[in-house]
Amino acid sequence: MNRFIPCLVLYALLTIPSLGFTSASKATPYFSAPYTGEKVQQYDIELPISRHEKETFHIPNDCSKLNSRLLEGAGHWGNRVERRLWMKADDDCRYLNFLNKYSGKASQDFVTDYDFYNARITDFPLRPGCDLNLLLRNPAACPPPMPGMPNFSMFMSSSMPMHQTQEENLKDCRFENGLFRGFIYHTGMGLRCIRDSKAPGYRILSVDFADVNGDDCQDAILRMVPVGRGARPSLLILPLTRCSDNEKFSLPSGSDYPRFGPAPE
């Protein structure tokens, strides 16, 4: 029971949906407030900085102070939940810095009118750094996905040909109200999906808009979590851009993509 409660708190911290938007100059995303999961643009969080001392940080105003405390090694104090809260606050600060690295509003915008919560998965890079042809021909030759970034190719099935009953269940590969759970098949009609409420997948928590690489082209930044049996409640980030309404999305070049959460073991 004692282990269940911290896990439930961690899941709530990451999976409460939140919405983001763009101001005229600076992106001001929403965050999930600690413990409650309430959608907020600022919150107070009390964290241990030594064995017997705690300090309150007002996020995002105190992001610089939080970073200084982390550099001093304060992030290792506290119990499991408190150490995760250190990580959450640090992730929120780094995410805000990522959005606002370049000031000003981009003059070219082909992303904000797209409905990402009901997006076609085929509009996204299935595995960042690898195009579909190589992924189908020789997936082992594709570079591994960047840590902290979603990998849709993990849902692609290389099983035997489907039975007729399965073919009748094939649908467009897309999110529905921010959720995708299912399996992706390569057919004569391109990529098609079998949706399965018990299958693994991703949930989109928020979509924010900013020019994250300073190329004067607006970008969309999706925050996601994996869902399904065995899925770890880890935050995933997918920055996307495109230069016309007719092309698929790609990763913004030179965006200095940040890795969130703990380092891989």
Domain that holds residue 77: 4-99
Domain match, 159 and 191 both: yes
Out of 66-70, 134-138, 245-249, the most confident range is 66-70
Residue that terminates a domain, selected from 71, 99, 127: 99
Domain match, 92 and 122 both: no
Torsion sign across C-alpha atoms 185, 145, 199, 221: negative
The burial of 106, by beta-carbon neighbours within 10 Å (0-12 exposed, 13-18 middle, 19 or more buried), is given as buried
How many domains does the chain fold into? 2
39 domain-assigned: yes
110 domain-assigned: no
Cα distances (angstroms) measured from residue 135 to each of 122, 125, 130, 153, 185: 13, 11, 6, 8, 12
104 domain-assigned: no
Rg of the Cα atoms in the chain: 20
251 domain-assigned: no
Q: Confidence class of residue 203 from pLDDT cuts 50, 70 and 90?
A: very high
Domain match, 70 and 157 both: no
Domain match, 126 and 84 both: no
Domain match, 207 and 127 both: yes
Q: Which amino acid is at 183?
A: F
Task: Report the C-alpha gap between 13 and 171 in whole angstroms.
Answer: 32
Domain match, 232 and 145 both: yes
Q: Which residues pair with 39 in a beta bridge?
A: 32
pLDDT, tens digit, 9 for 90 and up, residues 213-250: 889 999 999 999 999 876 676 788 999 999 888 888 98
SS3 of 9, please? helix
Parallel, antiparallel or unpaired: strands 39-40 and 31-32: antiparallel
Domain match, 89 and 26 both: yes
Domain match, 28 and 135 both: no
What pLDDT score was predicted for residue 56?
A: 96
pTM of the model as a whole: 0.78
Parallel, antiparallel or unpaired: strands 190-195 and 236-240: unpaired
Of residues 139 and 262, more confidently modeled: 139
CA 121: distance to chain centroid? 14
Residue that terminates a domain, selected from 68, 99, 130: 99
Domain match, 62 and 145 both: no
24 domain-assigned: yes
196 domain-assigned: yes
Parallel, antiparallel or unpaired: strands 31-32 and 43-48: unpaired
Backbone angles phi, psi at 128, to 5 degrees: -50, 130
218 domain-assigned: yes
Domain match, 85 and 127 both: no
What pLDDT score was predicted for residue 166?
A: 60
What pLDDT score was predicted for residue 23?
A: 38
Largest CA distance in the chain: 65
pLDDT, tens digit, 9 for 90 and up, residues 140-180: 888 877 778 888 888 887 644 555 556 667 888 899 999 99
41 domain-assigned: yes
Domain match, 60 and 19 both: yes
Cβ 49 vs Cβ 55: under 8 Å: yes
The burial of 103, by beta-carbon neighbours within 10 Å (0-12 exposed, 13-18 middle, 19 or more buried), is given as exposed
Q: Which residues pair with 199 in a beta bridge?
A: none
Residue that terminates a domain, selected from 65, 99, 133: 99
DSSP conformation class of 172: -
What pLDDT score was predicted for residue 72?
A: 92
Q: Which residue has the tokens 């993509």?
A: 257
Q: Would you say residue 10 has pLDDT above 50?
A: no
